[in-house]
Structure 1
Amino acid sequence: MFAVLTISAVPEHLHGYVSRFLTEVESGVYVGNISRNVRERLWERVSTTLDEGTSTMIYSDPRQEQGFSMLTAGKNSRKVLDLDGLTVVSMRPGRGESKIRDR
């Protein structure tokens, strides 16, 4: 199962842990083929060790129309939504921003 994991502003030891299973192709961006069991355990470890950081995992999922699923953890600025099997990413409005912007 192909997976892409991004982590930012996380404890340094987490980078070392993740690099046991995935290859770091750029700072904080990891890719690789891992089993479902490894993916689930890796995500559990990453999502509970973030402190103030953020993480996103995208992995192949043949059950989804688009062929992938997505997980996020931490203080992300985006929210992942499932709309009848279609994965979309929504921007969360920040402080002082309205949900509908004037043009």
Structure 2
Amino acid sequence: MASMVMISTTAIPDHVGGALSRWLIEPCPGLFVGTVSARVRDELWSIVSASIGDGLAVLIHPADTEQGFAMRTAGRRRRHVIDFDGLQLIKFAATGPDDTSETASAIVN
């Protein structure tokens, strides 16, 4: 069953934005919104997270959780999604001149 998804991107390669715009609309720069199946959503996210380069991306989609949605992130960022007793919360990481942490968040359902 199709559901609404939102992908927010910053400083991604042009080909990644092109791939996203085939399936989703871009109402403002870097924000992609649409209604797709879970399979298409997961394929789009694998393309984005594998090709993020120096950019960053956040995927928000409906899920059977207390909050009603799930978040995934990829790329270098200061905010990290953490699980706190089944709730997804945002943790701010300290930044420094040599901070090069780059991770992709796991799926939390």
TM-score (norm: length of structure 2): 0.84
- Work out the percentage of aligned pairs sharing the same amino acid: 36
Give the Å deviation of 1:67: 0.2
Unpaired segments ≥5 residues, structure 1: 97-103
Partner of 2:60: 58
- Residue by residue, what CA displacement relative to the aligned partner does 1:32-90 show, whole Å, maximum 9, x if unpaired? 111000011000000000111100000011x2100000000000110001111111011
Task: Pick the aligned partner of 2:12 from 5, 10, 13.
Answer: 10
Q: Which amino acid aligns with 2:88?
A: T
| 1:11, distance to aligned residue in structure 2 (A) | 0.9
Larger radius of gyration: 1
Q: How many residues align?
A: 95
CA distance in 1, matches of 2:19, 2:95: 32
Q: Name the CA distance, whole Å, in 1 between partners of 2:7 and 2:46.
A: 13
- The 5-angstrom pairing of residues 59-74 of structure 1 reads 59-61=61-63, 63-74=64-75
Normalising by structure 1, we get a TM-score of: 0.88
Question: For residues 12 and 32 of structure 2, what CA distance do their matches in structure 1 show?
Answer: 14
Which runs of structure 1 show a deviation greater than 4 angstroms over 4 or more consecutive aligned residues?
none
CA distance in 2, matches of 1:2, 1:83: 25
Ranges in structure 2 where 5+ consecutive residues have no aligned partner? 98-109
- RMSD of the alignment, in Å? 1.1
